[in-house]
Amino acid sequence: MIEGSAAEIADAVNARRVSALELTNALAARIDERDGAVGAYLARTTELAREHAARVDARVAAGERLPLAGVGLAIKDNMCVAGTPTTCASKILADWVAPYTATAVARLLEAGAIPLGKTNLDEFAMGSSCENSALGRTANPWDLGRVPGGSSGGSAAAVAAGEATVALGSDTGGSIREPAAFCGVVGFKPTYGRVSRYGLIAFASSLDQIGPISRSVADSALLYDVMAGHDPMDATTVERPVEAAAPALRDDLRGVRIGIVKEFGLAELGAEVRAVYERAYDDLVKLGAELVEVTLPTAEYGVATYYLIAPAECSSNLARFDGMRYGLRVERPDVGATYEATRAAGFGDEVKRRILIGTYALSSGYYDAYYVRAQKARTLIAADFARAFASCDAIACPAAATPAFAFAAKTDPVSMYLMDYYTIPMSLAGLPSLSVPCGYVTTPGAHALPLGLELSAPLFAERALLGIAHAYEGATRHAFARSIPDLPRAAALR
């Protein structure tokens, strides 16, 4: 049963064929069994999970029907859950306990989801491999010698390993889509402003967005429908009605035009990877879609634009970590030295690097040349997408140029930043975008490694986007074509 989809689980719990508590206990046992090898979780909230499960069972017994009744949820550890540690995988917040619950989490729990624990991430969501976590190491369940992707690597690995039915991630430049691709699961970033960020610890405020990670498109749609919509606690959420996506999932692509980006030619990819994407585009056609070539001439400036805007915003957002009101403090005789020592001890390399990039880009004399120029580039990138969507309903491209890479394979920051080449432009334009499994490549060690097809749509076209992804998934079933290898037993965090 714990292998079932969120909808199947909720149906079974609502019909009282199985209790939320039984399912919660079964998932806890599964985590015991597998997480020693995978390391998806930084903290488990098993007691809280059982309390929620008991409450769900009581509500169902009283006649309520809950859309996520008993569905085991893993939560990226940059989202607050009242009374539980929320660390951002950083030493600066290692001992901090959240005093309130993020809106997105609260909505899922109210709908019957069960909070299983907090998952690993690159520190403050800055990274593409989870290697920047200061608090844990997460491996890719498909090959334990490889990274799960990042920054929502723990959430993607948890879902891929069956240690959660669904998970929450956050995506600033690809942090849901890239790990979902690396772990062979679905990862969906809604339109900027669609899902409340109240209780999400901010990294880059003009880009951050919460979204679901799941084993199927339908499960992501189910979570999205529960989470999306205006929240008075987040002034950046849009007051625009949410059209439920789950009822609009479709099985074919007749009449759908899919844009293939001229600048994202497959020729530069490795032969095996290229073959997977060529087949994916063919499969779209077989389902009835018409492929049209679109051009995004500014997309090649995406990474450069992003690495000015996101660090600039991060340097500002992370100024709040000064050791005064919460988190780590390294006491020095005066306040300035206390700030400096606290931040030096509390932040890891990548966070320091991005704070330095952002501070430099915003500093006197460089502000116009860097930050303002990047914001203008962003306008051009968004305009390119708007033009492209005049001739297509969605854009298809690789989610990443390679499958998951080995630990410590990328030592220079720029090569790591380029991992998000295909995901960053959509983030800069605020578009809804997802990764859906589209096949495998095999490594010399004979491991199958999943790849993800990225599908992106115009602002607020989540319903159409999820419908298209569902049709593709249903016809190919790549997410279920193979299963992860047997994992070695190792002691899991209790």
Binders of another protein among 382-411, rule CB under 8 A? 382
To another protein, the closest distance from the beta carbon of 392 in angstroms equals 19
Minimum CB separation from another protein for residue 362, in Å? 9
Our CA angle for 76, 78, 80, nearest 5°, is: 95
304-343: b or e for each residue (b if 16 or more CB lie within 10 Å)?
Answer: ebbbbbbbbbbbbbbeebbbeebbbbeeeeeeeebbebbb
State yes or no: residue 138 binds another protein (CB under 8 A).
no
In 104-256, DSSP assigns E strands to 114-119, 166-171, 186-189, 209-214
Q: How far is the CB of 276 from another protein (least distance, A)?
A: 28
- Rule CB under 8 A: choose which of 30, 378, 463, 478 binds another protein: 378
Known catalytic membership, residue 151: yes
Catalytic annotation present for 5: no
CA angle 77, 83, 87 (to 5 degrees): 25
Which of positions 254-313 make contact with another protein (CB under 8 A)? 298, 301, 303-305, 307-308
- Report, in Å, the least distance between residue 59 CB and another protein: 26
In the complex, the smallest distance separating the C-beta of residue 408 from another protein, rounded to whole angstroms, is 16
Does residue 336 bind another protein (CB under 8 A)? yes
Q: Say whether the peptide bond before residue 151 is cis (omega within 30 degrees of 0).
A: yes
- Cite the DSSP H helix spans in 212-301: 217-227, 271-286
Q: How many angstroms separate the CA atoms of 302 and 424, rounded?
A: 6
> Which CB, 73 or 361, lies closer to another protein?
361
Q: Is 421 in the site for another protein (CB under 8 A)?
A: no
- 203 Cα distance to chain centroid: 14
- 320 lines the binding site for another protein (CB under 8 A): no
CB of residue 425 to another protein, shortest distance in Å: 12
* Stretch of 96-104, 120-128, 271-279, 280-288 contacting another protein, by CB under 8 A: 96-104
5-32 in b/e burial notation, b at 16+ Cβ within 10 A?
bbbebbebbbeeebbbbebbbebbebbb
Residue with Cβ nearer another protein (26 or 238): 238
Under DSSP, the state recorded for 62 is T
Which of residues 32, 353, 402, 493 is near another protein by CB under 8 A?
353
User: Alpha carbon of 41 to those of 38, 120, 163, 167: distances in Å?
Assistant: 9, 6, 9, 11
Q: Does 363 bind another protein (CB under 8 A)?
A: yes
Q: CB of 145: closest distance to another protein in angstroms?
A: 26
Contacts of residue 340, defined as CB under 8 A and 6 or more positions apart, other chains included, come to: 332
Question: Considering 152, 155, 175, 427, which one is annotated as catalytic?
Answer: 175
Where are any strands of DSSP class E within 120-225? Answer: 166-171, 186-189, 209-214
Member of 322, 384, 393, 462 binding another protein (CB under 8 A):
322
- The residue among 360 and 407 lying less far from another protein, judged by its C-beta, is 360
Could you say which of 1, 26, 54, 97 contacts another protein (CB under 8 A)? 97
Nearer to another protein, 146 or 343 (CB): 343
- β-bridge partners, 173: none
Whether 76 is catalytic is yes
- Positions in 437-466 near another protein (CB under 8 A): 459
Cα–Cα dist 174/196, whole Å? 18
Residue whose CB is less far from another protein, 5 or 206: 206
Contact between 347 and another protein by CB under 8 A: the answer reads yes
CA distances to 282, 397, 438 from 452, rounded to whole Å, are 15, 9, 5
Catalytic hit among 151, 152, 216, 427: 151
Inter-CA distances, 68 with 56, 160, 201, 215, 217, Å:
10, 19, 25, 15, 15
243 binds another protein (CB under 8 A): no
| Residues taking part in catalysis | 76, 151, 175
